[in-house]
Amino acid sequence: MNDFLRGMATSTKELAEPFISESIWTEAVTDLMIRGGRTREGVQVFNPEDTAGNKITAAVKHLLESQAPFSLSQMRRLDLAIEPVDILQKGKFDKYGQAFELGDELAGITGFRPVKLNVERGLNFKVADLQKGIRESRQLFTRETLRGGEITPEEIVDAYLNANRALFNNKREFFKDINAAKTLGVSRTTLNDAAERLSKAEFGSIERGRFNPLNISDDVEEKFADNARKLGLPNPYLQVRSTLQSIKRQFSRTSLNEVGLPEIENPFRNLPEPTLEPIQGLPQLPNPANIQNYGQLPNAVTKLTPVETALLTPGEQLIRQRQRQGTA
């Protein structure tokens, strides 16, 4: 695949030779393909699941438009601004339904093109970013803890802390976006329309600056149990469930106005290893080796010590036994 990418970059470099050097073009094409169809800035150029031909076409088209002088997109906007002219783009609106003013586009040639704010459209993108951030934050927990192998309580708590850190940052950014939209005079109706893809409870919490931490669903708890059964091990989630609930309660008291979540030490980290030392507090039995005259105390009936009794012949032992019986 690497050889193919290099060959594709080399074969298309002639398209860009009038504008940029060969090395810049080759590096740009290769980087774009390796990054899964995204630019260095994160802009999606093509879908990684698309066919190879469509991906190459989109990559080359994007690079030609971005690297060529007098950006092609700029020329298209100018074409749309001049209604009688339909050379590069037909009609008055671009593919996103936007119209352009001739004066603004002419000023853009000198580098001073004004851009009109479209807060409603911007909020829609911000909502999409939030939804993506919530999904990826949740995956930080499930991908690490439900991979199928053995996992420790320490790793579960670490993953939960990390997932909430990412979730807090995403919700905090959206909280700032809402406040910025209000500063720009956006209406309540526009805010409600943008929030349609979110639950009312979620949008309301973020708008009020309240952070809702990651919730462990019943399905995730069941997967923990299934993995433990398959491995024949105790369910580690049962050991940390109360700890995660305590962390969740503490995080839920954190405002989105804060810079970040409070630092919480993982209680399962650096636990002492179990030892074979005697349990403290139990009565200690006397050590026979320390008892004076052990084995030398005489029997109350025979008047012989255990050692003396052991040295008797069988006949003598029988006589002593009959004596004990008679005494009894």
Taking residues 70-83, what's their average pLDDT?
A: 60
Dump pLDDT digits (tens) for 51-69. 777 777 777 777 666 665 5
Are the CB atoms for 166 and 137 separated by under 8 Å? Answer: yes
Give the C-alpha separation, 294 to 122, whole Å. Answer: 93
Residue 317 CB contacts under 8 Å (≥ 6 apart), including other chains: 309
Q: Is it the case that residue 314 has pLDDT exceeding 90?
A: no
Dump pLDDT digits (tens) for 288-313. 554 445 445 566 666 666 656 666 66
pLDDT above 90: percentage of residues in the chain: 34
- Report the chain's mean pLDDT, rounded to a whole number: 75
Of 172, 178, 183, give the one whose Cα is nearest residue 194.
178
76 or 130, higher pLDDT:
130
Q: What pLDDT does residue 176 have?
A: 94
Going by the DSSP 8-state scheme, the letter that residue 213 receives in this structure is: P
Give the C-alpha separation, 198 to 179, whole Å. Answer: 17
Dump pLDDT digits (tens) for 181-201. 999 888 888 888 888 888 888
Taking residues 142-152, what's their average pLDDT?
A: 91
Q: Is it the case that residue 209 has pLDDT exceeding 90?
A: yes
196 or 210, higher pLDDT:
210
Taking residues 100-118, what's their average pLDDT?
A: 59
Q: Is it the case that residue 167 has pLDDT exceeding 80?
A: yes
Q: Model-level pTM greater than 0.75?
A: no
Q: What pLDDT does residue 166 have?
A: 94
Residue 233 CB contacts under 8 Å (≥ 6 apart), including other chains: 150
* DSSP line for 271-282: PPPP--PPPTTS
Q: Where are the domains of the chain?
A: 1-69, 70-116, 119-252
Q: Is it the case that residue 7 has pLDDT exceeding 90?
A: no
Q: Which helix (H) or strand (E) holds 57?
A: helix 52-67
Residue 95 CB contacts under 8 Å (≥ 6 apart), including other chains: none
Q: Is it the case that residue 265 has pLDDT exceeding 70?
A: yes
Q: Is it the case that residue 144 has pLDDT exceeding 50?
A: yes
Q: What pLDDT does residue 91 have?
A: 55
N-term to C-term CA, the chain = 101
Q: What pLDDT does residue 77 have?
A: 65
134 or 272, higher pLDDT:
134
Taking residues 65-74, what's their average pLDDT?
A: 58
115 or 137, higher pLDDT:
137
Taking residues 225-246, what's their average pLDDT?
A: 93
Of 86, 176, 164, give the one whose Cα is nearest residue 129.
176
Taking residues 94-102, what's their average pLDDT?
A: 57
Q: What pLDDT does residue 115 have?
A: 64
Q: Is it the case that residue 258 has pLDDT exceeding 90?
A: yes
Q: What pLDDT does residue 294 have?
A: 47
Q: Which helix (H) or strand (E) holds 130?
A: helix 119-145
